[in-house]
A and B are shown apart, each in its own frame.
Chain A
Amino acid sequence: MAILRGWMPIVICLVAALLAQLYLKPFLITTMGWDFAAKLLVDVGVNIILAVSLTMVNGFTGQFSIGHAAFMAVGGYVAAAIMYYGSYRLVGNADLAGGELSSMIVGRGAPLATKFDLLFLVALLAGGLSAAVCGYLVGLPSLRLRGDYLAIVTLGFGEIVRVLIQSQTSDVLYDPEEIDRVPWYSLATKLGGSLGFSGLPFYTSMFWVFAFMFATLLVAWRIKSSTYGRAMLSIREDEIAGEAMGVNTTQYKIRAFVLSAFFAGCAGGLFAHTVGVQLNAGELGFVKSFDIIIMVVLGGLGSISGAVIAAIILTILPEALRSVASYRMVVYAIALIVMMIVRPKGLLGVHEVWERSAWDWLLGKKKS
């Protein structure tokens, strides 16, 4: 029973991601002709991963990290390097746009995973793991810091990552023979520098985005609803009391940081291989970090479903406002200010949308 309870949702999520790839995507693109909606759905998925992963740090443990895009950049570049140079080494080119998985299943009903899909999975996980290592390294010295100080450290980390990638890496190699000749470790420095990493294959299909999104949601929710989630929340509520109740607050801050960085790294890998994206560290700076923070804060610090709702709205809204593009930031700013006045703790606070307390909270019912 327990095994069923544990693994069933994971299987269901994978099937759902696959169904989205098999039926939703062709439905949107072929039947409805909404190419744009399909692309937007992928963006929404990536942003949900980012917002929910940041919720683990900013929401659960109440630490204020404002360098989330840097983990995304680390994961994105690692995944991109593995994918781009990996496919060159394997087949001599990186031109596998759309990803084997999608074309195979949709096109010919051929085997599920080919070695390129496997390579993509490895690349995403490697991106996530390297981001997690960075998360650990940043988290470790930052744990003595609180509030504004921690924010400054994470901000500094974000800038360091951006500057390092932009200034310390050289142009991307395009010549298959040269790529084969150069030792693999020196490929790690050929990431395009300030020009960005161009020529990446567009591997990010709806399946991969949804699979990672569901994984992030599942992990976040299961942590939040377990004793480990309560341990993390205690840090946010009252660190001294948490410690007095036997919660090793340092350890749980690090765990939250590492997990959050891992999923941000995976999201970075997905983002890097999305259609229409040119991976550039310059775009993964402070502004991007702030976009993610706004999602988390608007949704409600600590609320997973709140972060999801905010991520959906804040991904679609800018597109909807494109026609009045010059006023977009104004609307954005006004929305934020109104939110701060009316609902300083975000849309849902710490609650989830399916909990009764969330509705009491939303409707402003006072409890005696």
Chain B
Amino acid sequence: MIALRTNQSVATPILEVRGVCKSFGGLKAVQDFTLVLNKGDLQGLIGPNGAGKTTCFNLLTGVYAADVGGVTLDGVLLRGMRPSRIAAQGMARTFQNIRLFGELSVLDNVKLACHVRVSHTMLGAVLRSAKHVAEERAIHERAMELLRLFELDDRAREVGRSLPYGDQRRLEIARALATSPKVLLLDEPAAGMNPQEKMELAKLIRRVRDEFDVTILLIEHDMGLVMDICEHITVLDYGVTIATGTPNEIQNNPRVIEAYLGGVE
């Protein structure tokens, strides 16, 4: 289940976004968004509030359909697919405003996300077929394993909404990983965390990338975290990509500084 990242596959593009545009009425939310994620990448997507970052995530995961442009995930064009299909293709996400299954237990939150990889039918579940029993057991073990990794296993029986804020954010990541994704999109995973928690989160994200063989794209406002863990950063402002590059390049890019500080120079 946990595979180590192999070095040969590092340069293969896993997610390719080509010229994606999206307008809401007269508002051009995202214009000509292009992004390539290679296997094993850990990239950042930043920009001031309202720059269109979350809209990008919604376009990638099929919540919105792009006006123009295409998204290719591991060689499969995702055009016209509903979000559940895209998730099945291997794209998982977390949400900026936490969207846990609040009334369900922490364990069930993670188990639920394993559903997408299940191969027995509903009839099999009703008749308790051998395959159903085996898969349910595998789901349980996988979910507990994930919870252990995220240090949530001792709260497995509690309901999702009773968790503290930081734990809820980590549970969202665990839940997204349970779908066995190829690409993981994290929408402000550090929001509302204290510095200590942020440090641990940074470690965790790196660990997830290495142990789960996933490629990560993350939206984050905490520049310390982004500059620390991301190898490559894309900056959006008013839906337009204004810069891409390594953390160092981004930090010294005058257009980025202008976007964030409003042209004070």
Interface residues of A, Cβ cutoff 8 Å to B: 2-3, 5-7, 218-219, 222-223, 226-228, 230-231, 233-234, 237-238, 240-250, 255, 302, 349-350, 357, 367-368
A8 (CB) vs chain B CBs: closest residue: B128
Q: Does B259 contact A (CB under 8 A)?
A: no
Complex contact B101–A2 (CB within 8 A):
no
A243 touching B112 in the complex, CB below 8 Å, given contacts A228-B122, A367-B158 = no
Q: Please judge, given known A-B contacts A230-B104, A237-B102, whether A2 and B128 are in contact too, CB under 8 Å.
A: yes
Give the residues in chain A near B175, CB-CB below 8 Å. 245
Check A241 against B133 for contact (C-beta < 8 Å).
Answer: no
B157 sits at the interface (CB 8 A): yes
- Complex partner residue of B122 from A223, A243, A245, CB under 8 angstroms: A223
Q: Which A residues are CB-close (under 8 A) to B108?
A: 230, 233
- Chain B positions 116-168 with a Cβ under 8 Å from a chain A Cβ: 116, 118, 122, 125-130, 132-133, 135-136, 139, 157-159, 162
What's the Cα separation between A7 and B128 when bound, in Å? 8
> Interface-forming stretch among B71-79, B88-96, B205-213?
B88-96
* Any A CB within 8 A of the CB of B63: yes
A223 contacts B126, C-beta separation under 8 Å: yes
Set B84, B116, B122: member contacting A249, Cβ < 8 A: B84
Q: Does B87 contact A (CB under 8 A)?
A: yes
User: In the bound complex, do residue B84 and residue A246 qualify as a contact, i.e. CB atoms below 8 Å apart?
Assistant: yes
Q: In whole angstroms, what is the CA distance A247 to B126 when docked?
A: 19
A234: chain B residues at CB < 8 Å are 101, 112
Residues B88 and A244 in contact, CB atoms below 8 Å apart:
no
Can you report 18 residue pairs joining A to B where beta carbons are below 8 Å apart?
A: A219-B126, A226-B132, A227-B112, A227-B118, A227-B135, A228-B125, A230-B108, A230-B112, A231-B115, A234-B101, A237-B103, A240-B99, A244-B93, A245-B113, A246-B84, A246-B87, A357-B157, A367-B159
Do the beta carbons of B116 and A246 come within 8 Å of each other?
Answer: yes
Besides A240-B99, A242-B101, A246-B87, 11 more A-B contacts (Cβ < 8 Å) are: A5-B133, A227-B111, A230-B104, A231-B112, A231-B115, A233-B103, A241-B99, A242-B84, A247-B115, A249-B84, A255-B122
Interface contact tally, CB-CB below 8 A: 124
> Of A6, A222, A237, which is within 8 A of B104 by CB?
A237
Q: Do B95 and A246 have beta carbons less than 8 Å apart?
A: no
Measured between beta carbons, the chain A residues less than 8 angstroms from B93 are: 244
Q: Does B203 contact A (CB under 8 A)?
A: no
**How distant is the Cα of A159 from the Cα of B53 in the complex, in angstroms?**
47
* Selected contact of A241 from candidates B100, B127, B130, CB within 8 Å: B100
B-side contacts of A6, CB under 8 Å: 127-129
Alpha-carbon distance between A3 and B130 when the two chains are bound, in angstroms: 7
Q: A233 to B101, Cβ gap below 8 A? A: yes
Contact mask B152-192 → A, CB, 8 Å, 1/0? 00000111001000000000000110110000000000000
Is B28 an interface position by the 8 A CB rule? no
With both beta carbons as reference points, the residue of chain A lying nearest to B139 in the complex is identified as: A227
Bound form: Cα–Cα A7–B85 in Å: 34
A240: chain B residues at CB < 8 Å are 63, 83, 95, 99
Whether B101 and A241, one on each chain, are in contact in the complex, defined by CB atoms closer than 8 angstroms, is yes
Residue pair A2, B133 in contact (C-beta under 8 Å): yes
Whether A245 contacts B87 by the Cβ 8 Å rule is yes
> Does B114 sit at the interface, judged by CB under 8 A?
yes
Contact at A350–B112, with CB atoms within 8 Å? no
A350 CA / B159 CA spacing, docked (Å): 11
- The chain A residue with its CB closest to the CB of B131 is A2
- In the bound complex, residues from chain B placing their C-beta under 8 Å from that of A219 are 126
Q: Residues of B contacting A244 with CB < 8 Å? A: 61, 63, 83-84, 87, 92-93, 95, 99
* Contact yes or no, A243 B87, CB < 8 A: yes
Bound Cα distance from A302 to B61, whole angstroms: 29
Please name the residue on chain B nearest to A220 by beta carbon: B126
The CB with the most chain A CB atoms within 10 A, among B83, B112, B129, B175, is that of B112
- Minimum distance in angstroms from A262 CB to a CB of chain B: 12
How far is it, in angstroms, between the C-alpha of A329 and the C-alpha of B237 when the chains are bound? 62
CA distance A219 to B122 in the complex (A): 10
Interchain CB contact under 8 A, A222 and B126: yes
Looking at the complex, which one of A222, A227, A243, A367 makes contact with B82 (CB distance below 8 Å)? A243
Q: Hey, which chain A residues are within 8 Å of B87, CB to CB?
A: 243-246
Among B88, B105, B159, point to the contact of A246 (Cβ < 8 A): B88
Chain A residues with Cβ below 8 Å from B139 are 227
Contact: B130 with A349, CB < 8 Å?
no
- Interchain CA distance A231-B122 in the complex, whole Å: 11
Query: In whole angstroms, how far apart are the Cα atoms of A227 and B137 in the complex?
Result: 11
> Which A residue's beta carbon lies closest to that of B93?
A244
Chain B minimum-CB-distance residue to A10 = B127
Query: Closest A-chain residue to B98, C-beta based?
Result: A241
CA distance A220 to B143 in the complex (A): 24
* B129 contact set on A, CB distance < 8 A: 2, 6
| In the bound complex, CA of A244 to CA of B113 (Å) | 9
Contact of A222 among B101, B116, B118, B128 (CB under 8 A): B128
Q: In the complex the two chains form, is A7's CB within 8 Å of B127's CB?
A: yes
Q: Which residue of A lies closest to B90 (CB)?
A: A246
Contacts of B179 in A (CB 8 A): 245-246
Residues from chain B with Cβ under 8 Å of A242 in the complex: 84, 101, 112
Name the one of A2, A233, A247, A250 contacting B116, with C-beta atoms under 8 angstroms: A247
**Are B100 and A367 in contact, with the CB atoms below 8 A?**
no
Do B126 and A238 have beta carbons less than 8 Å apart? no
A300 → B minimal CB distance (Å): 11
